[in-house]
Structure 1
Amino acid sequence: MDGMESKIALKDRRAFKIAFIAALGVFVIGSFFIGNSKGTIEIDIQRILEVMMQDDGSTERMVIWNIRLPRMILAGLVGINLALSGAILQGVMRNPLADPSIIGISSGAGLFGIAILVAFPQYQQFVIIAAFFGAMLAAFIIYALAWRSGIQTVRIVLAGVAVSALFGAGISGTLVLYSDRVQGALTFMNGSLSARSWPEVQTILPYTIGGTILALIFAQKLNILLLGDEIARGIGLNVEATRLGFTALAAILAASAVSVVGLLGFVGLIVPHTIRMIVGSNYKYMLPASALFGAGLVMLSDTFARTIFSPSEIPVGIVMAVLGVPFFLYLLRK
């Protein structure tokens, strides 16, 4: 009887997780339409659907199709990438405070990306590649500094803070050397979706699709890593190769996001942690839930950043910092 009740409880928990993921899908759709409806010109949902379906040459069509629609899609893709990157890093490093921006991976991507943008603008097509190498370099340095007979949470956080400061200084130095081009880099530094459109969507979309598919396919390996290195090796997992592969995946997800919107922090911290408290640490459920929540959160945050001081707007990175810093301090205190 007890065994039967346990199986029923297990099914109920699984049903709850699936229902929660479905609810997050509704949350993403709602965030998408809120973002498309709000602004200097208010457009209701029915009208949004009409102008998306048919080109009637109206002002609403131009606003939706050329400005708001690509911006909301891009916000969602960036949210997915950063949320998945944070979730993967937390699993690989077994550190609940791991986040691309906090431990320096975003700063590494940012330094290499901004170097291309301000020093070699004629090679902008290589920004994502450069950002990826910067992110991987940051991850390698963090591992080298934090490793001593294994990885521990405190050493990763301290190493990450040091690496973030190092690359942050590099970014500042680059901007000083190319001060005549600093204006274009300010939005990059603060993380902004302003003036972003379809080209940026096309840039990040393949990385989002590929990264999401790979993360979901290999989610079980992340679950095994959580058991500890010795147990994982006993099961037959090549721990170091798996950790390196996931680190590279997290780096490319973060780098692709950084390359199109700049240094947008705390998404990879807030989202996985919130999702973990609701659905648990099983990456089979945690990854899709994190992706959906990340997409909706960045959409809503960008809508708020765009409309709170309308007609002026603030970078979405500022909104995420306002949300993320208290959250980080709360986790650190715990």
Structure 2
Amino acid sequence: MSRKKWYVFAGTAFFCLLSAVLSLMLGAARLSLTELCQALSNGMNSVPGRIFWYVRLPRTMACLLSGAALAAAGAVIQGVLSNQLASPSIIGVNAGAGLAVTICCAAGAISGWIIAVSAFGGALLAVCLVVFAAQKTGASRTTVILGGVAVNSFLTAIAEGITNLIPDAGLLSADFRVGGFSAVAYTRLIPAGILILMALAVVLTLCNELDVLMLGEETARGLGMQVGRTRTVFLVLAAMLAGASVSFAGLLGFVGLLVPHAARRLVGGESRFLLPLCMIGGAGFVTLCDLAARLVFVPYELPVGILMSVLGGPFFIFLLFKRRKERTFS
């Protein structure tokens, strides 16, 4: 690894660590470093201890896990589809997970493994729909994105229909549809976190396979890769990452678009550098956005999903114009 990459990784890790520490300290009730240490040593025997263990720690862990998962899922999807405009929120992966969670809420299941596994299943269904449509129609890269947007709208409409027909489901999933961490509980976080950590570990072992797959189908087959099987594995992993994250964080948008683009500019497109940097940078980015969302309008708290949409929407439009300009001059 070059010295520049070491500096990038060190700086990103420091940014992530700093964001996590500030997230533990700052909020409606501020905790000093001394109080944090006392909470760690004395447990829940004091007010700062209860704030730390019941509010700040699960929220910060949720930010870190969801950021790493969504950024890694975005990088994997972009590589598999050979399209840097793809991300879990744009091609309908998050919407599929959201529909599954809404169905669970309508059935009365609001926590535990059933939420995490159902969200994974919904995300996987959305991925399969987009890929199947692309393969059957021979769609171009831009058309794949448009197909994903259509799937996103279709699944979101079904979820909204369920919440209108079953008001209780709408009440249970209201915060979820916006995206945020204000009500994160260990009962949802732990099962989803286990799935995320497992998927991240597997993705990191498959960096070489992802690089070969990004060379194109013909080249990958020439190198002896079973393209269909490998693509399926990566899509399942991306669905697991996005679905598990959505199960407790809600419909956070554009993390899987913003972070991989920034990481690619810093360390290039080689997966053994890109994926770890996406995980670290995504974790720090979401944590910092959540911290800003709860501090900017004190004593009110802005759902972090709104802030990310405000940041991600203009960035997506910028990428569209940039790609159009590149095609014009090529």
Superposed pair shares fold, TM > 0.5: yes
Q: Distance in 2 between matches of 1:205 and 1:45?
A: 26
Please name the residue that 1:237 is paired with: 225
Alignment of 1:14-53 (within 5 A): 14-53=2-41
Q: Distance in 1 between matches of 2:259 and 2:179?
A: 17
Q: Distance in 1 between matches of 2:166 and 2:218?
A: 49
Change (3 A) 1:196 1:122: closer
Q: CA deviation at 1:151?
A: 5.5
Please name the residue that 2:57 is paired with: 69
Q: Is the 8 A contact 1:116 1:123 kept in 2?
A: no
Q: CA deviation at 1:298?
A: 0.9
Q: Percent identity?
A: 36
Alignment of 1:1-334 (within 5 A): 14-55=2-43, 57-121=45-109, 125-147=113-135, 150=138, 152-334=140-322
Please name the residue that 1:7 is paired with: none
Q: Is the 8 A contact 1:33 1:45 kept in 2?
A: no
Matching residue's letter, 1:68: R
Q: Distance in 2 between matches of 1:186 and 1:223?
A: 39
Q: Is the 8 A contact 1:191 1:315 kept in 2?
A: yes
Large movers: runs of 4+ above 6 Å: none
Q: CA deviation at 1:123?
A: 8.2
Change (3 A) 1:149 1:40: closer
- Please state whether the residue corresponding to 1:194 is helix, strand or coil: coil
Q: Distance in 2 between matches of 1:60 and 1:122?
A: 28
Q: Is the 8 A contact 2:196 2:240 kept in 1?
A: no
Q: Distance in 1 between matches of 2:262 and 2:57?
A: 27
Q: Distance in 2 between matches of 1:126 and 1:56?
A: 29
Higher mean Cα deviation, 145-154 or 182-191? Answer: 145-154
Across the aligned residues of Structure 1 and Structure 2, the Cα RMSD in angstroms comes to 1.8
Q: Is the 8 A contact 2:113 2:191 kept in 1?
A: no
Q: Distance in 2 between matches of 1:65 and 1:105?
A: 32
Q: Distance in 1 between matches of 2:205 and 2:41?
A: 34
Matching residue's letter, 1:291: M
Matching residue's letter, 2:188: E
Deviation per residue, 1:82-137 (Å, 9 max, x gap): 11111100000011011111000111111112111123437864222222222122
Matching residue's letter, 1:295: A
Change (3 A) 1:64 1:296: same
Q: CA deviation at 1:145?
A: 1.9
Higher mean Cα deviation, 150-159 or 265-274? Answer: 150-159
Q: Distance in 1 between matches of 2:43 and 2:93?
A: 42
Please name the residue that 2:325 is paired with: none
Q: Distance in 2 between matches of 1:203 and 1:56?
A: 23
Q: CA deviation at 1:263?
A: 0.9
Change (3 A) 1:217 1:122: closer
Q: Distance in 1 between matches of 2:130 and 2:57?
A: 38
Q: Distance in 2 between matches of 1:59 and 1:120?
A: 33
Q: CA deviation at 1:42?
A: 2.0
Q: List alignment gaps of at least 5 residues for structure 1.
A: 1-10
Q: Distance in 2 between matches of 1:287 and 1:146?
A: 25
The number of residues matched between the two structures is 322
Q: Is the 8 A contact 2:76 2:234 kept in 1?
A: yes
Q: TM-score, normalised by structure 1?
A: 0.91
Q: Distance in 2 between matches of 1:140 and 1:242?
A: 14
Q: Distance in 2 between matches of 1:20 and 1:122?
A: 40
Q: Distance in 2 between matches of 1:136 and 1:121?
A: 20
Q: CA deviation at 1:148?
A: 5.3
- Please state whether the residue corresponding to 1:139 is helix, strand or coil: helix
Change (3 A) 1:236 1:82: same
Higher mean Cα deviation, 130-139 or 296-305? Answer: 130-139
Matching residue's letter, 1:210: M
Higher mean Cα deviation, 234-243 or 17-26? Answer: 17-26
Q: TM-score, normalised by structure 2?
A: 0.93
Deviation per residue, 1:12-33 (Å, 9 max, x gap): xx23213311221111110011
Q: Is the 8 A contact 1:74 1:200 kept in 2?
A: no
Higher mean Cα deviation, 312-321 or 210-219? Answer: 312-321
Q: CA deviation at 1:54?
A: 3.3
Change (3 A) 1:115 1:328: same
Matching residue's letter, 1:169: A
Please name the residue that 2:326 is paired with: none
Q: CA deviation at 1:282?
A: 0.4
Q: CA deviation at 1:236?
A: 0.8
Q: Distance in 1 between matches of 2:186 and 2:119?
A: 20
